[in-house]
Structure 1
Amino acid sequence: MAASCAALLALCVSLPPLLLVVWKRWRRGRAARHVLVVVLGDVGRSPRMQYHALSLAKRGFSVSLLGFCNSKPHDELLQNDRIQIVSLTELQRLAVGPQIFQYGVKVVFQAAHLLWKLMWREPAAYIFLQNPPGLPAIAVCWFVGCLCGSKLVIDWHNYGYSIMGLVHGPSHLLVLLAKWYEKLCGRLSHLNLCVTNAMREDLAENWGIRAVTVHDRPASFFKETPLPRQHQLFMKLGHTYPAFRARTEPSDPGVERSAFTERAVQSGLVTRFGGRPALLVSSTSWTEDEDFSILLGALEKFEQLVLEGARLPSLVCVITGKGPLKEFYSRLISQKHFRHIQVCTPWLEAEDYPLLLGSADLGVCLHKSSSGLDLPMKVVDMFGCCLPVCAVRFRCLHELVKHEENGLVFTDMEELAAQLQMLFTNFPDPSGKLNQFRRNLHESEQLGWDESWKRTVLPLIVDT
């Protein structure tokens, strides 16, 4: 009897530690193949974090992607069984109290909400976090990592405080607090990635943070669009946007025509329409760091040149994106009454955007960078589609745009206007600069995102 009691007592004493060991081993095994990807912003407008999720899933990880679900992500991500999108709630700015109080309430709410969402996820080996926005996400993700044994990976796209400085000024209290927080908490990560060599050097010299440069690369769906698919896209967009519709109806009822292409209904053969307009695309976030007035002024000069008899085509200018200044500039556009330029500002479905870039003749990028250390993802996408670019100059743009090789760099409205005139004179000219840039992009044989990720990021997380 005594022996039985002793055995029972020994079992009771040893069982909890044994269960704890078993639970930890089960948890570690589960966590090893699970990754949390966190965006304290719109998932649909965070392509780089979508690409991280897809590359992780392709290597056998299960992925929980947390962020705001304001716009639709790419179908490839939605259809992947290894990726679960977890919606975060976005608190809108309060209408009462001083600005710093409103901001404080928002930060506290986001911190508590993100902590709750993360703690209810299954164990993860890594937490991949986009910065910015990093307040309060860096501290929350670090804390969860400490509790759950997850390693924090910060992907530095820019500095959050520098973006806040565009609105409040560099010496504002909120900006100074954000900089202090970002610099302090940024050192808590296990691994740091960044988008340019210039940012890597700045993180090392001024922040004491060692990072690995992972340049943005185009995803596989950014490529030149076949002519039949271009026609389908133009016809689809033409239902909503007049700029894509044919200027004149074809006399032959067996021909279907858009502003750029025509299709023989019986044979299905698609050809480019003679005398077609040039298609220019600019993807913008309609914010202070993208001076849209530069493009608008260049278009005015282009219109004047056409009226004066220059050998230039009519122009369809498509400006995609969402942002706070969109309505303001849309009103300015409507007041111009262009005769040879049509401007439309659609918000495209995720699947249509790559098709549009792959169908365009020229891209224009107005991104300047609040820190001068990040590169525009929109240019990466354009280059994936072999689309030449005119981009506004800033500090580290040379890491992406090679002037006179894959595009042109400008500093002001006059320079952009001169570049548009040069590129579109005698359009479409197979021997012109525009086609030379396109050939150079063809021959450059760029690495795609996934192949680049496999070479740079995968070894970092496999070896740790």
Structure 2
Amino acid sequence: MQYHALSLSKHGFNVTFVGFLDSKPHQDVLREENIKLVPIAEVKGVRVGPKILTYVTKVIVQVLQLLRVLLKMDTQSHILMQNPPGLPSIAVAWLVSALRGSRFVIDWHNYGYTIMALSHGQRHPLVRLAKWYEHFFGPLATHNLCVTNAMKDDLQKNWGIKATTLYDRPASIFRETPLKLQHELFMRLADTHPQFQSERSEDSEAERTVFSVRDLTDDTVSLRAERPALLLSSTSWTEDEDFSVLLKALEEYEGFIKGGASLPSLVCVITGKGPQKEYYKKLIDSLSLEHVQICTPWLEAEDYPVLLGSADLGVCLHMSSSGLDLPMKVVDMFGCCLPVCAINFNCLHELVKHEENGLIFRDSQELAEQLKSLLSAFPGSEGRLGTFRRNLRTSRGQRWDDNWDQNVLPLVTAP
């Protein structure tokens, strides 16, 4: 949604950006004069009594809050929202659009009811109500965007909604990171995360960033001769991503090294915050790993693309609850020419091309074997990992701006 706001602003629109301020927006959004931020508060609902009472009161308060915020604003030509989350924002945004003559646009990234079903089950009354709600209010939008052709077909067939496919594309900030910026980032991270250190190489040809891991044993290779590989994943720590798959794979990878395999040690960085983060941090703390270090930092918006552009391999554990959306994190990784190992689901092939820009796996054992295969030639560039990176460099697709101008600008400028 920050990308949407910036694109609208660049084309001369005055944008009112409504949302939770639990994390700081990107500096580009904060600096843009045409974008006004209107924060809304996180609502908890009644904290006593049955859970259904908490949920109902939370929704009611959110409805009133959103109505107040949207009706206080100047009349907007368009109201654009992302779904999910759509309860209660779809109904409120549609109502305000109808009252004020605004055009209502939904950007479908998934279906909210399928996410609810992960924790409650398909037949739970709340899930069935949420499904009815999205099916009723979704078709009332003036325009619809969606993130895959598979979702476009499903919206047309099962919802009666004609949507425009707007594939997520990386912004220009996602690119391979120069060594100097890598060095500066790791110096900052080292203050709070000892897994990161950055040293100047004695190699006279160039400055080289070196990752240092606290618990590497003395008999491992010299850090100046060879560095651990940087493995990166990002998450909102929700139920549609099972990080135990990655942790089991890392344990198997540790076993490969102890068994004599010639593999680099790993620094595995998992960025993000969310409801299951503390649960997985406890699992991570319980692991006994000598050659793999795992850290879970929260990064500022400006630092995330720099870290992504410094990594050697990305891992995606996003399991689409609907089987119809694509992980934005992989889009950003590809923008940085970062090869990816991604867990399989129905329409992933629209983004990840197996054996071309990454690998698709089904379980922790297959992921461990892929890590072993991809990193066997590390840090050289002659192996499969280097091939995937070269393929990404030569097959750069559209960036966000061109994609948005082609697919969304005509919708918001049409008479």
CA contact (8 A) 1:391 1:408 kept: yes
Matched AA of 1:162 = T
Name the counterpart of 1:236.
Answer: 188
Q: For residue 93 of structure 1, report the CA deviation from its aligned partner.
A: 4.2
d(CA) in 2 for partners of 1:402, 1:94:
47
Partner residue, 1:344: 295
**Distance in 1 of aligned mates of 2:397 and 2:207:** 36
Aligned to 1:95: 47
Give 2:227's aligned amino acid.
R
1-structure distance, mates of 2:285, 2:89: 40
Name the TM-score, length of structure 2 as normaliser. 0.94
CA displacement 1:83-125 (0-9 Å, x = unmatched): 0110011111432122222111111111111010001111110
Question: Among residues 364, 371, 383, which one is paired with 2:334 in the alignment?
Answer: 383
Name the structure 2 match of 1:115: 67
1:269 aligned residue: none
Amino acid at match of 1:96: V
In structure 2, how many angstroms separate the alpha carbons of the residues matched to 1:135 and 1:202?
Answer: 20
Give the structure with the larger helix fraction: 1
Contact 2:46 2:53 in 1 (8 A): no
Question: Is 2:363 the counterpart of 1:412?
Answer: yes
Q: Specify the structure having the higher radius of gyration (Cα).
A: 1
Partner residue, 2:254: 303
SS at match of 1:242: coil
Superimposed CA distance per residue, residues 348-372 of structure 1 (whole angstroms, 9 cap, x where no aligned partner): 0110000000000000000001111
2:105 corresponds to 1:145: no
CA distance in 1, matches of 2:19, 2:202: 51
2:321 to 367, 370, 394: 370
Per the TM alignment, residue 310 of structure 1 is displaced from its structure 2 partner at its CA by: 0.6
Amino acid in the other structure paired with 1:419? Q
Q: CA RMSD in A?
A: 1.8
> 2:44·2:54 contact (CA, 8 Å) conserved in 1?
no
Post-superposition shift, 1:79?
Answer: 0.4
Structure 2: distance between partners of 1:419 and 1:120: 54
Partner Cα distance (1:154, 1:165) in 2: 22
Unaligned runs of 5+ in 2: 213-222
- Does residue 197 (structure 1) correspond to residue 172 (structure 2)? The answer is no
1:290 aligns with 2:290: no
Change over 3 Å in CA distance of 1:372–1:250 after alignment to 2: closer
Separation in structure 2 between the aligned mates of residue 327 and residue 104 of structure 1, nearest angstrom? 27
Say whether residues 1:422 and 2:373 are aligned partners: yes
Q: How far, CA to CA, are the matches of 2:69 and 2:76 in structure 1?
A: 13
CA distance in 2 between partners of 1:443 and 1:259 (Å):
27
Distance 1:133 1:152 in 2: 16
Structure 2 counterpart SS, 1:182: helix
Contact 1:280/1:364 (8 A) holds in 2: yes
| Greater relative contact order (CA < 8 Å, ≥ 6 in sequence) | 2
CA distance in 2, matches of 1:114, 1:382: 34
> How many angstroms apart in 1 are the aligned matches of 2:371 and 2:102?
51
Give structure 1 stretches of 5+ with no counterpart: 1-48, 262-271
C-alpha deviation, 1:250, in angstroms: 8.8
- Whole-Å separation in 2 of the counterparts to 1:71 and 1:406: 31
Q: Percent identity?
A: 60
Q: Higher mean Cα deviation, 329-338 or 350-359?
A: 329-338
| Equivalent AA in structure 1 for residue 268 of structure 2 | C
Distance 1:394 1:273 in 2: 40
**Alignment partners' CA distance in 2, 1:226 and 1:183:** 47
CA displacement at 1:245 relative to structure 2: 2.2
C-alpha separation between the residues in 1 aligned to 2:208 and 2:11?
A: 44
Q: Distance in 1 between matches of 2:37 and 2:78?
A: 16
- Alignment correspondent of 1:458: 409
2:268 corresponding residue in structure 1: 317
Structure 1 Cα separation of the partners of residues 200 and 282 of structure 2 = 30
Query: For residues 323 and 277 of structure 1, what CA distance do their matches in structure 2 show?
Result: 28
